[in-house]
Structure 1
Amino acid sequence: MTAYDPARVKAAASALRAVMARHAGADAQARALSEALAPFLAQAISGTAGPIEWSAIPGATLFSEGGLGRYPDLEAAYASFRIEVSGGSSPVLERLRKKRGGHD
């Protein structure tokens, strides 16, 4: 497992914030995600976040049960942030990435 890296967390948080901003104006669920994640993103960008338990990061149900799955850019940015803020990639995830030939 890669270690928690504040620079990677900050980059993922900034990217997620930018993608959410593009969708939040036209989508109530994207706005809800943005509001739910605001404190997490603020901490990540300021460098005051530590690893956060995977299950404590809000928003997953908006993709699995809501309509946000129709935005692949938002889903990818959310997944990247969630991975980084929860401690980075696991060996299993790294093998999957190599197998499919890409990164997040």
Structure 2
Amino acid sequence: MLLTAAAGRTADLRLIRLAGATRKQVVWLVTAESALVVLLGGVVAFVGLLSIRAGLAEQAGVPVDLVAPWSVAGGVVGWWALPVPRGAASALPTWRSLRHRPARSPVGVAG
């Protein structure tokens, strides 16, 4: 999924390079975006679980505990939120897509 996303954003990332960013800065940008998406996704999922629990408790009229295999969920989410696998999954395709130097900007060129 990240490879497809990186391939689809090649033109956008090259534009960032044309604006003056180095290849390393672009890779850090993509890696930070990926980490932010994982973090926000986890927050949204947790809020969804709390909402479902509250709705079920209201419908049943009894308190409902939120029971989940937290060690398994934390391990899976934690693994993908770590910089090494997450960074490799997003940074490597980005790095490869930007391996060529960007073309010079046509701005200021007399035609």
- Normalised by the length of structure 1, the TM-score is 0.32
- Asked which structure has the greater CA Rg, the reply is 2
- Normalised by the length of structure 2, the TM-score is 0.31
Structure with larger RCO (C-alpha < 8 A, sep 6+): 2
